[in-house]
Structure 1
Amino acid sequence: MRRRQLMGGLAMASAGVSLHRPGLGAQVQPPRLPPRLKAGDEVGIVSPAGATFEPDRLDLVVDAVSALGFVPRVAPHALARYGYLAGTDAERAADLNAMFANPAIRALLPVRGDWGSARILPYLDYATIRANPKVLIGFSDISALLLGIHAQTGLVTFHGPHGITPWRGDQVELLRRVLMAGEALTYRNPLLGADQDRLMRDQGRILTLTAGQATGSLIGGNLSVISGIVGSPYLPDTTGAILFLEDVGEPPYRVDRMLTQLKLAGVLDGLAGFVFGQCTACGPGAGYGSLTLADILRDHIQPLGIPAYAGAWIGHVEPLWTLPIGLPVRIDASAGTIEMRSPAVL
């Protein structure tokens, strides 16, 4: 995801937000669990990032929310447009603030990602969000919201489907088990297609970088997005955390550059464990002598000496897992598993 916009220090200062030293992230907030969802709950449909240019895309999200057994409530600016953004920063932030303030709304579901979530972080009402914990779920560019809100409020957020993702049955099952049944799941890569009838696995293989098990709060999301909020108060402190990363459409040298940025900023210091998901369309292409993704991960992660593996089924893939940001998990870098240590909802 080729995003280069960074929130400027002057913009944060004008919004009354104190800056933290680069790499240290926000102060640790105690985890706050949202109430579990149940059939008939109202779900707010918001557009915090990219514009939805075709109205029928929004109709699809409304249909999906209804099919899940919830009542859809569309935010006023869901179809707004300011260039490639779904309205101005003020409009997009106002929709999220209103949804969190509305006691009838039990969850927020973004229509899509693209770019723009980081721009509204200084304009969110974190006191209201803290006082009204709700399910917030999404991935890709929505990582900025998931991490920023968790950093500022302690609310456990969810890396999972957003509105226009294909709502496959296996994806829906995971969401229901985590957000409605309150189960503590163990995630391992699924067997897909022909692999179900083969002696060996072709898709979804894992690469153990450093064997072992580790426990810590799960923090992570899209690598490009995370690298764009390094040094801000919207990246949680990663000390003692399990960091997971994923991306799409990035050549190896860009992945290398972003991981180097995290390393130089101190984000990788003090991690308990590391998981790299899928990096779709991130191969070296025809570039002679390019480092591979595996080379880059070995260079940056193996020297940390912590349990770490790559190839987890996290990213721009199907089915999307529903993973709790800020909740303690245990990873096994040899087995390629992520185990929730407790339910993520009340």
Structure 2
Amino acid sequence: MIYYPLLAKGETIGISAPSSGAPEALHYVVRESTLRMNKRGFQTVIGETVWSQNKAASAPAKLRAKEFNSMMKEQSIDHLIPIWGGELLIEMLEYTDFKKLDKKWILGYSDTSVLLLAITLKTGLATAHGPNFVDVRGEQMDETTAKWMEVLATKEGDSIVQKASSKYQKEWDHANPTSCIFHLTENTEWKTISGEEESFNGRLLGGCLDVIRHLVGTPYGDVAGFREQFTLGEPVVWYFENDQMNTTELRRILVQMKLAGWFNECAGIMFGRSAANGPVDNYEVKDVYLALAEELGIPIVYDIDCGHQPPQMTFINGAVAEVTAGKGTGKVKQSFK
């Protein structure tokens, strides 16, 4: 079975940096985020790793894991939200105490998705792929981003529906944040590779492809073992996003996952919007999606609200998802069972 934490107002959220921390010039961002979180009715505990950044990480891997393990065991901390992603989270996995993880939400995306997916696959503890701590520091939140609180407050046995956003951010402009941090200027358009309306359902798993690909073939990426131990044999619905890869690299990774059995009993795949996906020799990202859809015989939905072009939905690794997409829009219903 899957174990679902439950978020409630007034609880305490631990803020850590299992990947990158904040250099001194960005400490103000942490303080802004803390202020907003407190105003929304949550207490915060800021870890020491949050305040440092050197050699592509907040701290050595063992120290990052030690702080994470401590926050997961500390009874006064109810949930964890990493400050943001980074580059080298995978270093700390071998020092993470997977056998002593309390029932707490861990929310984030980008490099954090390595930790999220590994935890769910190894322990059956549901994890949340959604906004980072700094993404919610605005005076207000757009409707899609703000849904993270409602999703994490969904009780075990209940369901919640998220719908496609109306607009998204094409490019980051960190120097000129809006009242909700993001610049939502472009019209959102969910697409299907078939061009028709699609619907599918299964256990939800996924993350940032740039980094979760490195779990393939390791003890932290045992998809078959997860399905056998923690689910009733339901098919998997994958969600992915691409931060920096061109189309041929993306294709290689997806083929590797297929050969490793990650797509066995796959009901469908969702791909997030991306500023990457650069074509190589006229090989477009749509060609990648089409080839995968034909090989697996499954529906594929793309340009969904997920990843580095906000806003993004909050996806729960381990939840049962019902996906519907067509005519430029879509929705995802997640059931905590």
TM-score tier, shorter chain, comes to 0.7 to 0.9
Deviation string 1:204-224 (CA, Å, 9 cap, x unpaired) is 222212564322110001011
Q: Partner amino acid for 2:3? A: R
TM-score (norm 1): 0.80
The residue aligned with 1:137 is 107
- Kindly indicate whether residue 221 of structure 2 is the aligned counterpart of residue 235 of structure 1: yes
- Kindly indicate whether residue 162 of structure 2 is the aligned counterpart of residue 170 of structure 1: no
Aligned mate of 2:65, from 93, 99, 120: 93
The residue aligned with 2:305 is 313
TM-score (norm 2): 0.82
CA 1:38 to 1:341, structure 2 compared with 1: closer, same or farther past 3 Å? closer
CA 1:181 to 1:151, structure 2 compared with 1: closer, same or farther past 3 Å? closer
The residue aligned with 2:270 is 275
CA separation in 1, counterparts of 2:189 and 2:297? 22
The residue aligned with 2:320 is 328
Unaligned 5+ runs, structure 2: 169-185, 228-234
Q: Secondary structure at the match of 1:214?
A: strand
CA separation in 2, counterparts of 1:318 and 1:188? 14
CA separation in 1, counterparts of 2:100 and 2:274? 35
- Kindly indicate whether residue 172 of structure 2 is the aligned counterpart of residue 188 of structure 1: no
The residue aligned with 1:204 is 188
1:330 Cα offset (Å): 1.1
1:69 Cα offset (Å): 1.4
CA separation in 2, counterparts of 1:301 and 1:143? 24
Aligned mate of 2:89, from 114, 117, 125: 117
Q: Secondary structure at the match of 1:92?
A: helix
The residue aligned with 1:16 is none
Contact 1:188 1:313 in 2 (8 A): no
Q: Partner amino acid for 1:113? A: G
The residue aligned with 2:42 is 70
Deviation string 1:171-216 (CA, Å, 9 cap, x unpaired) is 45301211235463323322128xxxxxxxx732222125643221
Q: Which runs of 4+ in 1 moved over 4 A?
A: none
Deviation string 1:89-132 (CA, Å, 9 cap, x unpaired) is 11100111111101111110101101122111111111210xx1
- Choose 332-341 or 107-116, whichever is displaced more: 332-341
1:249 Cα offset (Å): 2.7
CA 1:64 to 1:257, structure 2 compared with 1: closer, same or farther past 3 Å? farther
Aligned mate of 1:224, from 189, 196, 210: 210
Q: Partner amino acid for 2:309? A: V
CA 1:204 to 1:236, structure 2 compared with 1: closer, same or farther past 3 Å? farther
1:338 Cα offset (Å): 4.4
CA 1:192 to 1:338, structure 2 compared with 1: closer, same or farther past 3 Å? closer
Contact 2:147 2:313 in 1 (8 A): yes
1:246 Cα offset (Å): 0.5
Contact 1:186 1:337 in 2 (8 A): no
CA separation in 1, counterparts of 2:299 and 2:145? 30
Aligned mate of 2:125, from 155, 159, 183: 155
Equivalenced residues, count: 301
The CA RMSD measured in Å over matched residues stands at: 2.2
Q: Aligned runs of 1:22-41 on 2, under 5 Å?
A: 30-34=1-5, 36-41=6-11
